[in-house]
């Protein structure tokens, strides 16, 4: 005699594959649940990875706090920086000059190329404390002394720039002088700034690697006609999560026309968009599990029809309605457990091999399925969160159990006299 409750015993017995139509539908239902759970784990893990990877890149490339003047540049920025450094949350403070420039490559051989990158002028002493730059030099050295610049690895590849090459850079100062010379009979040729590429960095973020030139703050001030002023102050904190707290503490110490922005406020649009997409994808992909649940429901309805006589005999022998319903609910639970466990294993495997698979497809088809120029990352990020996995598995199990409610209710309402009328 089995020690299992008869409801579970019957549920497991009727789920044994016997090459019947019901068994085939049950197998298809298990596969459907497996695929739904696996796809959900992969999609949600990738979206979570995107969120955290992007946040980490932004924390390394953007200031945790940025102090600026609303309608002008910062004139007394040294005094403001001294005030900011006294705050307990602040790690480093550095002047920052940033904006677009026009540059022309000057290769030793071949044709020159014109590009319009963004220029970041930072304090050379601060660069050694700016971990993302100081630890990301892949060629040359971290040297911003004099007329020296650093470029990104993708800019180097796209324009063929090598360490030691020179860049002719036109800033607002040169362009302003050109406009002033227009129409003059004795027009003077305005020469660009001549800069030497001292190093190449790779911060793992395509947009920064392809569009940013890093120079000293003095060189950037010269290009932007900033005499003793800067565009903003670049503030790094001990704990980026305390950015809002630090902002509230610093706000009363600064002039009313000086603003403070946090990395969260400046990046809120893209981070919020990823979080919303993650939630939407969860609900959309959950419909795969719902489709599999309809397979469970159809197999159990067929089973009720085929086992009408047995159900009638059980009720005639004294089986309660709740017991009969439990048989079908247990079937849905068993199918859900097998499907969820198989989907969990498959999903974790797919997450693990995602980048080798993308490289294989790129080699086999020649197509870039995950172009860095669009997504800014060179590999598909993913992060398996225990909370996400538990939520997916529990939701799938609940859906599978609920799929058995209709056939269970139908079987529970079956009267013995009607079930055995023609026997």
The pLDDT of 249-270, averaged and rounded, is 85
Yes or no: say if 222 and 29 are a contact pair by the CB < 8 Å rule.
Answer: no
| pLDDT score, position 349 | 94
Yes or no: say if 224 and 162 are a contact pair by the CB < 8 Å rule.
Answer: no
| pLDDT score, position 135 | 77
Confidence category of residue 319, pLDDT binned at 50, 70, 90 = low
> What is the per-residue pLDDT across 323-336, written as a single tens digit (0 to 9) for each?
677 777 777 788 88
User: pLDDT exceeding 90 applies to what percent of the chain?
Assistant: 10
| pLDDT score, position 294 | 81
Which residues neighbour 10 within 8 Å (Cβ) at sequence distance 6 or greater?
327
Q: Which of 237, 234, 102, 125 is nearest to 171 (CA)?
A: 102
Question: CA-CA distance, 247 to 113, in Å (whole number)?
Answer: 43
The pLDDT of 268-275, averaged and rounded, is 80
The string over 166-189, giving b where at least 16 C-beta atoms fall within 10 Å of a residue's C-beta and e elsewhere, is bbbbbbebbeeeeeeeeeeeeeee
Yes or no: say if 52 and 377 are a contact pair by the CB < 8 Å rule.
Answer: no
The alpha carbons of the chain give a radius of gyration, in whole angstroms, of 33
Yes or no: say if 400 and 336 are a contact pair by the CB < 8 Å rule.
Answer: yes
**Which residue has tokens 């059980």?**
314
Question: CA-CA distance, 54 to 151, in Å (whole number)?
Answer: 21
Phi (first) and psi of residue 268, to 5 degrees:
-65, -35
Confidence category of residue 390, pLDDT binned at 50, 70, 90 = very high
| pLDDT score, position 128 | 53
The predicted model scores a pTM of 0.74
Highest mean pLDDT among 111-120, 306-315, 371-380: 111-120
Confidence category of residue 342, pLDDT binned at 50, 70, 90 = very high
Question: CA-CA distance, 153 to 150, in Å (whole number)?
Answer: 10
**Which residue has tokens 């110490």?**
253
Rounded to 10 deg, the angle between the 308-316 and 268-306 helix axes is 80
**Environment class of residue 406 by beta-carbon count within 10 Å: exposed (0-12), middle (13-18) or buried (19+)?**
middle
> What is the per-residue pLDDT across 24-83, written as a single tens digit (0 to 9) for each?
777 888 888 899 899 999 999 998 888 888 888 777 778 888 998 887 888 888 888 888
Lowest-confidence region among 27-31, 84-88, 206-210: 27-31
C-alpha 274: how far from chain center: 7
Give the chain as a 3 state SS string.
Answer: CCCCCHHHHHHHHHCCCCCCHHHHHHHHHHHHHHHHHHHHHHHHHHHHHHHHHHHHHHHHHCCCEEEEECCCCECCHHHHHHHHHCCCCEEEEEEEEEEECEEEEECCCCCCCEECCEEEEECHHHHCCCHHHHCCEEEECCCCCCCEEEEEHHHHHHHCCCCCCEEEEECHHHHHHHHHHCCCCCCCCCCCEEEEEEEEECCCCHHHHHHEEEEEHHHHHHHCCCCCCECEEEEEECCHHHHHHHHHHHHHHCCCCEEEEEHHHHCHHHHHHHHHHHHHHHHHHHHHHHHHHHHHHHHHHHHHHHCHHHHHHHHHCCCCHHHHHHHHHHHHHHHHHHHHHHHHHHHHHHHHCHHHHHHHHHHHHCCCCCCHHHHCCCCCCCCCCHHHHHHHHHHHHHHHHHHCHHHHHHHHCCCHHHHCCCC
Yes or no: say if 90 and 235 are a contact pair by the CB < 8 Å rule.
Answer: yes
User: pLDDT exceeding 70 applies to what percent of the chain?
Assistant: 80
Q: Which of 101, 62, 56, 65 is nearest to 85 (CA)?
A: 65
**Environment class of residue 379 by beta-carbon count within 10 Å: exposed (0-12), middle (13-18) or buried (19+)?**
middle
Residue 1 has pLDDT above 50, yes or no: no
The pLDDT of 135-141, averaged and rounded, is 85
């Amino acid at each position: 005699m089995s020690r299992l409750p008869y409801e579970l015993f019957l549920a497991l017995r009727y789920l044994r594959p016997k090459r019947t139509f019901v068994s085939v539908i049950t197998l298809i239902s298990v596969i459907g649940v497996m695929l739904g759970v696996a796809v959900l784990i992969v999609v949600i893990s990738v979206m979570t990875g995107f969120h955290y990877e992007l946040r980490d890149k932004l924390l390394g490339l953007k200031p945790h706090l940025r102090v600026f003047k609303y309608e002008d540049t910062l004139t007394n920025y040294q005094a403001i920086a001294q005030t900011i450094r006294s705050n307990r949350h602040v790690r480093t403070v550095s002047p920052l000059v940033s904006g677009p420039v026009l540059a022309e490559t000057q290769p030793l051989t071949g044709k020159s190329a014109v590009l319009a990158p963004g220029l970041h002028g930072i304090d050379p002493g601060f660069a050694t404390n700016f971990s993302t730059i100081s630890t990301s030099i892949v060629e040359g050295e971290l040297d911003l002394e004099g007329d020296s610049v650093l470029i990104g690895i993708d800019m180097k590849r796209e324009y063929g720039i090598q360490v030691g090459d020179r860049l002719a850079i036109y800033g607002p100062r040169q362009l302003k002088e050109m406009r002033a010379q227009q129409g003059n009979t004795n027009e003077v040729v305005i020469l660009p700034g001549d800069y030497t590429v001292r190093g190449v960095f790779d911060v793992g973020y395509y947009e920064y690697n392809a569009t940013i030139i890093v120079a000293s703050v003095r060189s950037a001030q010269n290009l932007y006609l900033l005499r003793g002023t800067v565009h903003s102050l670049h503030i790094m904190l001990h704990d980026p999560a305390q950015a809002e707290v630090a902002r509230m503490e610093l706000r009363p110490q600064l002039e009313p026309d000086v603003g403070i922005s946090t990395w969260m406020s400046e990046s809120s649009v893209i981070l919020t968009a990823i979080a919303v997409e993650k939630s939407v994808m969860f609900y959309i992909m959950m419909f795969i599990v719902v489709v599999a649940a309809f397979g469970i429901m159809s197999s159990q309805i067929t089973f009720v029809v085929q086992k009408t006589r047995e159900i009638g005999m059980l009720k005639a022998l004294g089986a309660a309605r709740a017991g009969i319903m439990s048989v079908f609910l247990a079937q849905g639970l068993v199918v859900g457990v097998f499907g969820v466990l198989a989907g969990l294993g498959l999903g974790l495997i797919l997450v693990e091999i995602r980048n080798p698979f993308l490289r294989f497809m790129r080699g086999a088809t020649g197509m870039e399925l995950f172009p860095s120029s669009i997504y800014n990352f060179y590999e598909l990020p993913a992060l398996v969160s225990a909370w996400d996995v538990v939520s997916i598995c529990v939701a799938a199990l609940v859906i599978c159990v609920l799929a058995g409610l209709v056939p269970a209710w139908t079987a529970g309402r079956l009267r013995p006299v009607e079930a055995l009328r023609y026997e």
